[in-house]
Amino acid sequence: MLTFNRYLRATSLEEAYTEAQKKSSVVLGGGMWLRLGKRRIGTAIDLSDLGLCGVEETEDSYRIGAYTTLRDLECHAALNTQYSGVLRESLRAIVGVQFRNLATVGGSVFGRFGFSDVVTVLLALDASVELYKAGVVSLERFCTMGRVNDILTHVIIPKRSLSVSYHAQRNSATDFPVLNVCAARNGEQVTVCVGARPARAVAYRYTLDGTAGKAERIANEIASRAVFDSNTRATARYRRHLCCVLVRRALDDILEKEEA
């Protein structure tokens, strides 16, 4: 249940940052998961008035405002054209349109939720996060950091010519993924990200050439290197098996797309 004593519609990032330093304060994203917790919040800080909605295309990147909704990202033509529709593919199974019209990119990324579909994809696309005080930090590093008392203002995806493929396994449509995998190939270098382990997504880097059986070998190696755990959705053993299958499918997809 969502409970807070005070609501602050911040008029500046500095005001939001100062308020966010208090232990009882929380910066609101979409607020979708916040309401599932039991935490009693002192001040809920809303950044709605700070112009953080929308995707700005620059010469070398896409700069996504933290309050851009997942639905906006799913429907963004240029982003989906650039990355073979992988954002649309990864977002379309998240609950429903009404949910995705509220859930924000910033909320999803700042939370670094293990079950996140979007974090796995952004990690594979080599995205960075822009924090109000700390500046630009790679998403990979951000995913290893502990509690962050900063304000995430943007997510930046560099423009690159990538072949990308996303695969997820769900026990039922619109549920959290049991495991998700996103692979992105730039030349012969491939980044494979594995999320919903159920812990946070992690990235692995390999060389992927056209050698027969290479995709299979990479898939086996990632499945043995990655750490999996059990929860109500699946056992660690099942996740390890899925990892091998989904990584191989993602790499095969990329090779097939490139051949075509």
| Least distance (Å) between residue 211 CB and another protein | 37
Report how far residue 201's alpha carbon sits from residue 185's, in angstroms, rounded to the nearest whole number: 18
Residue 53 near another protein by CB under 8 A: no
162 residue type, one letter: L
- Contact with another protein (CB under 8 A): which of 11, 12, 18, 48? 48
Nearer to another protein, 128 or 198 (CB): 198
Which phi and psi (to 5°) does residue 13 adopt?
-65, -35
**Do the beta carbons of residue 201 and residue 90 sit within 8 Å?**
no
Number of residues that bind another protein (CB under 8 A): 29
Residue 44 near another protein by CB under 8 A: yes
| Least distance (Å) between residue 238 CB and another protein | 23
Return the number of other C-beta atoms located less than 10 Å from residue 259's C-beta. Answer: 7
**For tokens 């097939």, what's the residue?**
256
Stretch that binds another protein, among 30-38, 55-63, 150-158, 199-207 (CB under 8 A): 30-38
- Contact with another protein (CB under 8 A): which of 31, 63, 85, 249? 31
Comparing CA positions, the residue from 125, 116, 154, 124 lying closest to residue 137 is 154
Report how far residue 189's alpha carbon sits from residue 183's, in angstroms, rounded to the nearest whole number: 10
Report how far residue 178's alpha carbon sits from residue 196's, in angstroms, rounded to the nearest whole number: 6
Stretch that binds another protein, among 93-101, 109-117, 145-153, 212-220 (CB under 8 A): 93-101
Which residues of the chain form contacts with another protein (CB under 8 A)?
1-7, 9, 28, 30-32, 35-36, 44, 46, 48, 71, 92-93, 95-99, 101-102, 173-174
